[in-house]
């Protein structure tokens, strides 16, 4: 658990995704957000089982790069989705606080909607209203640890999913509504995170030349690389970087920056040729950068 005070914490469980089916897990959990002062704007979006010390999910999110979206699930449960705007990543959770109407466990009360709205406001970098009535939602860091001492799996806080309901993912996504948008959300454009997935990149490290490895190492903070590191050590370091959450979040953040107007600045700093027509008319700025990189590689070859 971080030493810093969470901005908000609520009782929530995770959902398991099996193919196109979303299944709420009965494990009692806690979802919370905190900010590390050393990381400036980044938010830590965390989930952990009650009783655990370290979070199972610890996602670094730039303000405005993700939304928390409520789903009207009817009588079987209250599911909400963390949707990243610069990649295809989605995480599903379900509200475990007791429903205000015991006869309708899936009812989204105004209290419940307020929690989701407040968390989403934090993710957008907005100040949350201190005087908003939040019921039993906010839990401070002391209470989080106390919750962990005796995790409850049912009863007073709704800690078990009712009858393990299952949801069709396609149907769930089609019904989610973002304010001001259509009912069915278009698939997000490709992200650098998608293109640089570790499952694709890590396997290449054993085969690229030492010159390429040295070029990669030169772009890392010196503290990550031991003095007189061997070739094998350098390859291991690059592999760890590619698998790190910091690299993933960096790729996501850069994708968002490109779409917000940073294409020319990023291309110039990387010496990537971008055509004037691409800068102004490209359907997607990430795709424009990738095309420029491809052209430069072909030119060098």
For residue 182, what pLDDT is reported?
45
Residues 208 and 164 in one domain: no
Q: Report CA dihedral (263, 187, 121, 145) to the nearest 10 degrees.
A: -110
Tell me the mean pLDDT in the region 139-156.
Answer: 38
For residue 197, what pLDDT is reported?
81
Which of these three, 146, 175, 204, is where a domain ends? 175
**Tens digit of pLDDT for each residue in 13-48?**
998 887 777 888 888 999 999 887 766 567 889 999
Separation between Cα atoms, residue 97 and residue 99, nearest integer Å = 6
pLDDT-derived band at 170 (thresholds 50, 70, 90) equals: low
For residue 224, what pLDDT is reported?
76
Residues 247 and 165 in one domain: no
Please indicate, yes or no, if residue 153 is contained in any of the structural domains. yes
Distances (CA, A) of 185 to 17, 91, 144, 182: 19, 16, 35, 6
Q: 163 is written with which tokens?
A: 């009858």
The total of structural domains in the chain comes to 2
Q: How far does CA 49 lie from the centroid of its chain? A: 18
Residues 14 and 102 in one domain: yes
Residues 148 and 22 in one domain: yes
Separation between Cα atoms, residue 123 and residue 230, nearest integer Å = 42
Q: How many CA atoms lie within 13 A of 166 on its CB side?
A: 6
Residues 69 and 170 in one domain: yes
Residue 123 has pLDDT above 60, yes or no: yes
More confident residue, 150 or 53: 53
Please indicate, yes or no, if residue 184 is contained in any of the structural domains. no
Residues 19 and 113 in one domain: yes
Residues 151 and 44 in one domain: yes
Which of these three, 105, 140, 175, is where a domain ends? 175
Residues 213 and 152 in one domain: no
Residues 203 and 159 in one domain: no
Please indicate, yes or no, if residue 186 is contained in any of the structural domains. no
Residues 88 and 167 in one domain: yes
More confident residue, 10 or 286: 10
Strand partners, 24: 15
Tell me the mean pLDDT in the region 72-101.
Answer: 81
Please indicate, yes or no, if residue 1 is contained in any of the structural domains. no
CATH classification of the domain holding 62:
2.30.29.70
Which of these three, 132, 147, 175, is where a domain ends? 175
Residues 289 and 164 in one domain: no
Q: 83 is written with which tokens?
A: 């949707």
**Tens digit of pLDDT for each residue in 148-165?**
333 333 333 544 444 445
Residues 75 and 169 in one domain: yes
pLDDT-derived band at 143 (thresholds 50, 70, 90) equals: very low
Of the listed ranges 1-5, 184-188, 209-213, the least confidently predicted one is: 184-188
Q: 287 is written with which tokens?
A: 């795709």
Domain with 42 in it: 8-175
The per-type count for the chain, helices as H runs and strands as E runs, is 11, 9
Please indicate, yes or no, if residue 180 is contained in any of the structural domains. no
Alpha helices in the chain (DSSP H): 110-123, 141-149, 169-175, 192-195, 198-201, 210-217, 231-243, 245-257, 263-270, 276-281, 285-300
């Amino acid at each position: 658990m971080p030493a810093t005070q969470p901005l908000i914490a609520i009782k929530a469980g995770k959902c398991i995704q099996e193919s196109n089916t979303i299944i709420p897990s009965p494990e009692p959990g806690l979802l919370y957000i905190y900010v590390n002062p050393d990381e400036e704007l980044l938010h830590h979006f965390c989930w952990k089982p009650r009783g655990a010390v370290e979070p199972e999910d610890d996602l670094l999110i730039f303000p405005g790069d993700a939304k928390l979206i409520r789903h009207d699930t009817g009588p079987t449960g209250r599911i909400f989705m963390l949707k990243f705007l610069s990649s295809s990543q989605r995480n599903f959770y379900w509200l475990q606080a007791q429903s205000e109407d015991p006869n309708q466990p899936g009812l989204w009360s105004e209290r419940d909607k307020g929690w989701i709205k407040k968390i989403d406001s934090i993710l957008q970098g907005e100040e949350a209203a201190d005087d908003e009535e939040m019921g039993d939602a906010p839990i401070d860091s002391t209470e989080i640890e106390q919750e962990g001492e005796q995790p409850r799996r049912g009863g007073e806080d709704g800690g078990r999913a009712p009858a393990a309901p299952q949801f069709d993912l396609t149907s769930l996504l089609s019904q989610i509504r973002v304010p001001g948008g259509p009912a069915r959300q278009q698939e997000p454009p490709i992200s650098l995170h998608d293109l640089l997935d570790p499952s694709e990149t890590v396997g290449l490290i054993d085969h690229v030349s030492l010159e390429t490895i040295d070029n990669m190492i030169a772009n890392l903070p010196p503290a990550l690389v031991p003095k007189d590191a061997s070739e094998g050590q350098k390859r291991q370091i690059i592999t760890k970087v590619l698998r790190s959450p910091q690299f993933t979040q960096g790729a996501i953040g850069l994708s968002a920056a490109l779409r917000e107007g940073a294409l020319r600045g990023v291309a110039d700093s990387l010496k990537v040729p971008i055509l004037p027509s691409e800068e102004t008319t490209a359907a997607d700025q990430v795709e424009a950068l990738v095309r420029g990189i491809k052209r430069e590689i072909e030119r060098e070859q």
